[in-house]
Structure 1
Amino acid sequence: MRRRSVLAAAAGLAGGGWAPQDETPAWEGLTFLSHRKPIRAIHYRPVGEGRRSAIVMMHGSGARIASRGPWHELAMRFAGDGYEVLTPLFTDAWPDDGIRPPPMMEAWRDVGEHAIDWFIGRGVDRRRTAMFGYSLGSYVAVDGALGNSRAAAAIGLAGGVDVYTPRPPRRRIPVLIIRAENDTHVLPRNTATWVDFLREHDIPVRVEVIAGAGHLFRPPEWAEIFTRASAFYGGNIGRISQ
């Protein structure tokens, strides 16, 4: 078990009645199973009881989970805001070959589903669980949450239909799509097509834009992403009165 400082941007940004604590959240590496395959992950825990809510974060293409860097820092901010967080390395289920046939995508979505189940098995109410994904992970997170997952909300960051063709949703949960204004990797029009697809299927989705940002976010932009995501989660899965 190890501890790290919560970045100052977490302080004072929490919603839903949660007050950030002075102590530092804890994190540890672990593995859980998805179709009998071990999936490496980092588990972040808030100080004390927190919000009794949980977030599963799905990384982007080519990423690795580590106890440093913006992905770790974002998870620490969520933990500082009172959430349990799990950051699975979903490519442990099926190495990414860049072609991404349907069984590969399904294996990745199942990792997110099983990560949510891992939290539920530890006593977290399914109505207080959510997905978060960046780039490739945005599709894996949102499309999976709208499929067989029991997650109650989802956020897709810097994703669009050029990542993969979305499936007709089986569930209807709140979705937040965050896009970068100047993204040249996942083009804004392809994000808009994804949003239109979700709305055509009656998914309650809203869109927010990180002004001036490209696909690779800078530290102030990650801080803004946290602020927007925290407000979204605090209004549904993270409500203290829930």
Structure 2
Amino acid sequence: MDRRSLLAAAAAAGLAGQAWGQEAAPEPSYEGMTFQSHDKTIRSIHYRPVGEGRRAAIVMMHGSGGRITNRGPWHQLAMRFAGDGYEVLTPLYTDAFPDDGIRPERMMEAWRDVGEHAIDWFIERGVDRRRTAMFGYSLGSYVAVDGALGNSRAAAAIGLAGGTDVYTPRVPRRRIPVLVIRADGDTHVLPRNTAAWVDFLREHEINVRVEVLQDSDHLFTAPKWLEIFQLSAAFYGGNIGRPDQDTA
């Protein structure tokens, strides 16, 4: 073997040894847990960022028929938020009141209370209330946003694929920034009903931003879930996740 070949082989061996010795970058962690909402035990998954993160927290409210599990797009979205530095809770809010499809006001209030108490859970463990936020999809978008504008202490909220056909919104009691994300081809929650929800909130002086997912329906592909994360991360990063939030 000539000198050039020997040098190339030695370099390759060195690189291989370096790669073999490298450890994979740490990932966010998660675990199943429960918390109390009134007299009900609410199952949830708690996601933690690596290290201190942003010292901020997000509560994610699933859609109708949703479940909490350590796989699938809902879990992956929570992991992305945790990877961006947020603590996350994904409560199974139907533990507070089983969904019968009729959804009387007492049921909706029980679900909103789950979100409120999940935010309180974070605050009780040291998260500044100004660094807490809600996120909800479909039915959960109403639960998240309407609850955040009610008695919750959340400082921001995102509603994904929600509208007035999900439920009639209440007059807001609080003023926090809201992001509404909708699909241009949603046939389950119609775009006109999302627009009616946005108009209602703006009429009541809520700062609402709207983002539209192109070429999409109510059920999202993996690339759309990534786009949803990117839009959400930008919104949260400008509100609850700002580095100067503690002194603002």
Residues 1:230 and 2:222 are matched in the alignment:
no
Which of 181, 196, 207 pairs up with 1:193?
A: 196
Number of the residue aligned with 2:182: 179
Number of the residue aligned with 2:59: 56
Which of 212, 217, 220 pairs up with 1:214?
A: 217
Consecutive unaligned residues of structure 2, counting only runs of 5 or more, are 1-23
Percent of aligned positions that are identical: 80
Mapping 1:42-121, distance limit 5 Å: 42-121=45-124
CA distance in 1, matches of 2:142, 2:100: 17
CA drift of 1:241 comes to 2.1
Number of the residue aligned with 2:12: none
Secondary structure of the equivalent of 2:90? strand
Matching residue's letter, 2:119: I
Secondary structure of the equivalent of 2:80? helix
CA drift of 1:22 comes to 3.5
Which of 146, 156, 163 pairs up with 1:143?
A: 146
CA RMSD of aligned residues (A): 0.8
CA distance in 1, matches of 2:210, 2:105: 27
Secondary structure of the equivalent of 1:226? helix
TM-score after normalising by structure 1: 0.91
Number of the residue aligned with 1:125: 128
CA distance in 2, matches of 1:169, 1:182: 28
Number of the residue aligned with 2:168: 165
CA drift of 1:58 comes to 0.1
Q: Which has the higher helix share?
A: 2
Secondary structure of the equivalent of 2:220? coil
Number of the residue aligned with 1:241: 244
Secondary structure of the equivalent of 2:45? strand
Secondary structure of the equivalent of 2:59? strand
Number of the residue aligned with 1:202: 205
Secondary structure of the equivalent of 1:32? strand
Q: Decide which structure has the larger Cα Rg and report it.
A: 2
TM-score after normalising by structure 2: 0.89
Secondary structure of the equivalent of 2:103? coil
CA distance in 1, matches of 2:244, 2:175: 23
For these two proteins, the number of residue pairs brought into alignment is 222
Matching residue's letter, 1:40: R
Structure 1 ranges of 4+ moved more than 2 A: none
Number of the residue aligned with 1:4: none
Secondary structure of the equivalent of 2:47? strand
Which of 128, 134, 152 pairs up with 2:155?
A: 152
CA drift of 1:240 comes to 1.5
CA distance in 2, matches of 1:233, 1:23: 23
Matching residue's letter, 2:207: P
CA distance in 2, matches of 1:89, 1:140: 12
Matching residue's letter, 2:138: S
